[in-house]
């Protein structure tokens, strides 16, 4: 199940793309499997279909999906990409902000690190 | 003659009057049939309806409903007595307006207690549960039956059309063809509704027992729409194949409308809007937000509490906030196609009638 928050400052299309990516990374969808059509997902979320189409386009650009007209989005077989020098840089800033918020809310650095490792393992299907 | 025993006007009067009374009764119980956190089409905290303010608003609403509906019924009866059966449509409209005024006044009293609904939305990625009761075979049944009737008329037209002095003049066949077109348009509109119910409804819950209840409610509504399709077709077949039986046999089918409406309302009322009255057999999913869920639509998109207009929402069908069943999102072009088709059906006989005069005018 995918969940979004319309009151969040994060754009809706980004929330949808992030949620779907998490499902795809964890292997919940196998290659060639169909995702709901743009219209169906937009109806279920109660958002405009352009919002969902934008999320699908983003995932298609990342190589997760193949978009076929009138056939919806199909999950693609995707090789694990090699992380470039700027890959870590892209993640550090949002991660830093998130960790800062966790620390400000009283979480300990060790519990945050444990949680992060746990999440990564779950997504990779190792937990 | 059966005609002398039963006046067709009495049958029509009783049926339409019955529907009008049924309408008022439904409005009486409606505040208790909607979702727990929607009260008079306003999102409120789930316990509001049982608080003293909620109960007081309900009491006042019911008192006003009795007064307005009573006045409307008197106007309805007086209109039928003065203007005849032709007044029944206007009478039904007056009855609706009276009930709506009572609802609108109550809604205005609830608005100060409105609570913002949760902005969290959920969607299931697998298993869309697109079910049409009986599948497309059941849905195509009325069309097959109607096509069979049309075929029969085509082959045996001369026997059905007595004409003047026993000679066929084509008038009966022409009238029946117009009626066939009228029924086909009605069926097309209903089939579109059936398709829309399985494809274009936005679910309020994506999982848990609430989702199962919602699906049960939606399946029941679809079954009722399918039932209406079959009723319309059977009535049309009767009228087309037995035209010489006269008005009475046709009108005799009318009280069935009342029975059908009563059964449909009882079925839906038992489930509650969106299946909200079905007792939960399993653990209800934990609330994901402290805010009321309602129907996950902000109040500002509901005009007068009954018309939903939201350009950012792709759903065509939305659960009614005050009523049983579904309403349209009037910001979607598809919703207007539904309306056009529904309005086109009664216009067909008028257009056909006008087309008779056009050749005489040299058009």
Q: Which of residues 103-132 of B touch A (CB under 8 A)?
A: 119-125, 128
The pLDDT confidence band at residue B310, using thresholds 50, 70 and 90, is: very high
d(CA B252, CA B73): 24
**Residue B14 or B105, more confident:** B105
From A94-108, B7-21, B139-153, B316-330, the region with the lowest mean pLDDT? B7-21
d(CA B267, CA B259): 12
**Residue B283 or A38, more confident:** A38
SS3 state at B303: strand
Number of H helices, E strands in chain A: 5, 3
Residues above pLDDT 90, as percent of chain B: 30
The two tokens of residue B25 are: 């009764």
Mutation target for B interface from A1, A4, A10, A33: give the one with most B CBs within 10 A: A1
Contact B287/A at CB under 8 A: no
Q: Interface pTM (ipTM) of the complex?
A: 0.77
Nearest chain A residue to B206, by CA: A1
Mutation target for A interface from B126, B290, B301, B314: give the one with most A CBs within 10 A: B314
* Residue B158 pLDDT > 70: no
The two tokens of residue B270 are: 């038992």
- pLDDT tens digits, one per residue of B12-64: 767 777 777 788 888 999 999 999 899 999 999 988 989 999 999 999 999 99
**Residue B158 or A72, more confident:** A72
Mutation target for B interface from A19, A37, A43, A56: give the one with most B CBs within 10 A: A43
**Residue B338 or A102, more confident:** A102
By Cβ distance, the residue of A1, A7, A40 closest to B119 is A7
* Residue A79 pLDDT > 70: yes
Pick from B65-69, B156-160, B246-250, B258-262 the range whose average pLDDT is largest. Answer: B65-69
What's the whole-model pTM score?
0.81
Cβ within 8 Å, pair B314-A42: yes
d(CA A48, CA B12): 46
* Residue B193 pLDDT > 50: yes
Q: What is the pLDDT of residue A127?
A: 53
Q: Around B95, how many Cα atoms within 13 Å sit in the side-chain half-sphere? A: 24
* Residue B200 pLDDT > 80: yes
Contact B205/A at CB under 8 A: no
**Residue B362 or B116, more confident:** B116
Q: What is the average pLDDT score of chain A?
A: 87
In chain B, which residues have their Cβ closer than 8 Å to the Cβ of A34?
none
Q: What is the pLDDT of residue B176?
A: 75
* Residue B4 pLDDT > 50: no
What domains does chain A contain, in order, with CATH numbers? Answer: 12-75 (1.10.10.10), 85-124 (no CATH)
Q: What is the pLDDT of residue B9?
A: 67
Nearest chain A residue to B205, by CA: A44
Q: What is the pLDDT of residue B362?
A: 47
> Containing H/E element for A75?
strand A72-75
**Shortest Cα distance from A35 to chain B (angstroms)?**
7
The pLDDT confidence band at residue B342, using thresholds 50, 70 and 90, is: confident
Calculate mean pLDDT across residues B352-362.
58
Q: How far is CA B106 from the centre of its chain?
A: 23
- pLDDT tens digits, one per residue of B204-261: 888 888 888 999 999 999 999 999 999 889 888 887 777 555 555 566 667 777 788 8
d(CA B288, CA B39): 21
In chain A, which residues have their Cβ closer than 8 Å to the Cβ of B311?
48
Nearest to B109, CA basis, from B186, B193, B178, B53: B53
Give strand pairing partners of A3. Answer: B122
């Amino acid at each position: 199940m995918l969940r979004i928050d319309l009151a969040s400052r994060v754009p809706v299309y980004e929330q949808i793309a992030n949620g779907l990516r998490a499902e795809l990374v964890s292997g919940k969808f196998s290659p060639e499997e169909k995702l709901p059509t743009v219209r169906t997902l937009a109806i279920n979320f109660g958002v405009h279909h352009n919002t969902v189409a934008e999320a699908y386009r983003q995932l298609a650009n990342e190589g997760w999906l193949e978009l076929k007209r009138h056939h919806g989005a199909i999950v693609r077989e995707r090789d694990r990409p090699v992380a470039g020098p700027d890959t870590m840089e892209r993640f550090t800033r949002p991660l830093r902000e998130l960790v800062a918020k966790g620390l400000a809310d009283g979480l300990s650095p060790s519990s945050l690190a444990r949680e992060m490792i746990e999440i990564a393992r779950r997504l990779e299907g190792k937990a | 003659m059966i005609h002398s025993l039963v006046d067709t006007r009495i049958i029509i009067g009783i049926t339409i009057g019955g529907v009008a009374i049924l309408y008022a009764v439904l409005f009486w119980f409606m505040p208790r049939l909607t979702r727990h956190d929607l009260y008079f089409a306003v999102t409120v905290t789930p316990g509001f309806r049982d608080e003293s303010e909620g109960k007081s608003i309900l009491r006042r609403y019911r008192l006003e409903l009795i007064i307005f509906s009573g006045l409307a019924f008197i106007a309805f009866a007086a209109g039928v007595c003065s203007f005849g059966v032709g007044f029944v449509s206007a009478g039904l409209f007056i009855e609706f307006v009276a009930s709506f005024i009572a609802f609108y006044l109550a809604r205005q009293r609830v608005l100060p207690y409105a609570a913002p609904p949760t902005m969290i939305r959920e969607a299931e990625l697998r298993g869309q549960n697109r079910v049409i009761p009986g599948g497309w075979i059941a849905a195509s049944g009325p069309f097959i039956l109607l096509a069979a009737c049309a075929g029969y008329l085509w082959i045996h037209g001369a026997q059905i059309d007595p004409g003047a002095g026993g000679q066929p003049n084509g008038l009966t066949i022409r009238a029946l063809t117009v009626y066939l077109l009228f029924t086909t348009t009605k069926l097309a509109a209903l089939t579109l509704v059936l398709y829309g119910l399985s494809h274009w409804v936005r679910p309020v819950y994506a999982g848990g027992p609430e989702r199962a209840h919602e699906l049960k409610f939606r399946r029941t509504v679809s079954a009722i729409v399918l039932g209406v399709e079959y009723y319309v077709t059977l009535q049309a077949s009767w009228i087309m194949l037995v035209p010489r039986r006269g008005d009475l046999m046709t009108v005799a089918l009318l009280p069935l409308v009342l029975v059908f409406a009563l059964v449909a309302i009882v079925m839906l009322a038992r489930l509650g809007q969106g299946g909200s009255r079905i007792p939960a057999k399993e653990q209800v999913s934990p609330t994901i937000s402290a805010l009321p869920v309602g129907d996950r639509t902000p109040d500002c998109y509901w005009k007068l509490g009954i018309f939903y207009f939201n350009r950012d929402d792709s759903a065509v069908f939305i659960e009614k906030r005050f009523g049983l069943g579904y309403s349209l999102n009037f910001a979607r072009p598809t919703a207007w196609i539904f309306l056009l088709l529904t309005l086109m059906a009664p216009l067909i006989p008028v257009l056909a009638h006008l087309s008779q005069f056009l050749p005489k005018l040299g058009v």
